[in-house]
Copies of this chain bind each other. A is one copy, B any other.
Amino acid sequence: MGTSKTEGFSKEQIELAAITRALAHPARIAILQYLARVNACIGGEIVEALPLAQPTISRHLKELKAVGLIKGEIDGVRTNYCIDRERWEEVRRLMGGFFRTPVDEQDCC
């Protein structure tokens, strides 16, 4: 099928899956790290910073934008991308909550 079933899962589970799905590629991780590091809106430098062709990076940027982690601002002939801080915080909290699930003393394994 190739499609994930969603019926029967909670909204939070589906959103967590969507977010992690967006992160699930070295290029997208790299893009976010890059944007976070330069801490500014930049354009096509991303293409030069990654070992991928421009159309491919454009697709990755689109996916990151789709989950709201970054936003792109058209500035004349170029587009400046940067991290969406609000969403970033939101996602950080979501992920933090997920991993905070106390996995303390287990009575097995």
Contacts and interface: CB of A to CB of B under 8 A. Distances in A.
A78 interface: no
Contact of A14 (B13, B26, B40): B26
Considering residues A18, A39, A50, which has the most beta carbons from chain B within 10 angstroms of its beta carbon?
Answer: A39
Given A8-B50, A16-B29, A82-B109, 17 more contacts: A8-B51, A9-B27, A20-B23, A23-B24, A29-B98, A36-B103, A37-B101, A39-B103, A40-B106, A41-B108, A80-B108, A82-B106, A83-B106, A85-B103, A88-B103, A92-B100, A95-B95
22 contacts: A4-B25, A4-B26, A5-B51, A5-B52, A7-B51, A8-B52, A9-B26, A10-B30, A14-B26, A16-B23, A17-B23, A20-B20, A21-B25, A36-B102, A41-B109, A71-B109, A73-B109, A80-B108, A82-B109, A83-B103, A92-B99, A96-B99
